[in-house]
Amino acid sequence: MICSRKQNGCRLLELVALVNRGIQLIASISVLALIVLGVVLGSRFGTDPLDVESPLIGQPLPPLILETISGEPFAFTDLSGSPTVVNVWASWCLPCRAEHAVLQSGAEAYQGVDFVGVVYQDSASRAQSFLDTYGGGYPNVMDPDARAAIDLGVFGVPETFFVDAAGTIVAKVQGPITASILEETLNAVLLGEQPGTRTAGTVQLAE
């Protein structure tokens, strides 16, 4: 389009044409971005961001020495020789309440397996109140400076670790454990298998 500077109407048309080209360019970029996003999301469709194999699978349980809620020393090395279920929980964690009865039943059903609870970012008084309300049944230890949580690579609660009789971490469940998952995982551990990591639901983060 050829226009003189005095032809204001023509200049207006040029401006409109320029704006339209800009809009078309932005639209093209937006479409391209959506396509790229779709490819990325499509590649992760059906996966859980937490469903990642723990690097601790196949590694020894950290030799932690903590204290029970009542203040007595508790060494994880003393558990060697028996399969162990280590459940990381907190009184403020709603999913932990949902799974607690499952763990209690499991501790009663599997007499040859040790169950231990690790209290995460919580106080002894609140943890004891939780156990008074929902029941105990096995030792629970405090983790005041999050040493255990760091060594175990805890992302949130609840998380449950399965340790074989040799003291090796062979399985991890993220989220509230169910009766079927507990049974399947423990049976596999007792058979000498290494179930690995699985996600059972949502974990809750400390506020």
- pLDDT tens-digit profile of 142-159? 999 999 999 999 999 999
Task: Compute φ and ψ for 158, nearest 5 degrees.
Answer: -85, 155
String of DSSP letters for 133-174: HH---S-EEEETT-HHHHHHT--SB-EEEEE-TTSBEEEEEE
Residue 207 lies in a domain: no
- Mean of the per-residue pLDDT values for the chain? 82
Phi, psi of 122 (to 5 degrees): -150, 170
Specify the range with the lowest mean pLDDT, choosing from 90-99, 132-141, 191-200.
Answer: 191-200
Which amino acid is located at 83 in the chain? P
Comparing 21 with 75, which gets the higher pLDDT? 75
Kindly state whether residue 124 falls inside one of the protein's structural domains.
Answer: yes
Q: What domain range includes position 117?
A: 65-199
Higher pLDDT: 89 or 203? It is 89
Cα distances (angstroms) measured from residue 60 to each of 6, 56, 137 = 84, 8, 25
Residue 114 placed within a domain? yes
User: 84 and 42, same structural domain?
Assistant: no
pLDDT-derived band at 37, boundaries 50, 70, 90 = very low
The yes-or-no verdict on residue 197 having pLDDT over 50 is: yes
35 and 78 assigned to the same domain: no
For residue 50, pLDDT over 90 is answered with no
The radius of gyration of the chain's CA atoms, rounded to the nearest angstrom, is 28
Of 108, 120, 122, 118, the residue nearest 76 (C-alpha): 118
> Residue 27: its pLDDT value, please?
55
On whether both 20 and 72 belong to a single domain, the answer is: no
If one counts the domains in the chain, the total is 2
Give the predicted TM-score (pTM) of the model.
Answer: 0.73
Q: Which of 24-38, 50-64, 108-122 has the lowest mean pLDDT?
A: 24-38
Q: Are residues 154 and 112 in the same domain?
A: yes
Q: Tell me: do 36 and 69 sit in the same domain.
A: no
Q: How far is CA 82 from CA 78, 115, 139, 151, 162, in A?
A: 10, 10, 15, 21, 11
Section 130-151 average pLDDT: 95
| Whether 98 contacts 175, CB under 8 Å | no
d(CA 181, CA 87): 14
Amino acid symbol at 50: L
Checking if the pLDDT of 19 tops 90, the result is: no
pLDDT of res. 29 = 58
Residues 22 and 111 occupy one common structural domain:
no
Which pLDDT does position 112 carry in this prediction?
Answer: 93
* pLDDT higher than threshold 70 for residue 84: yes
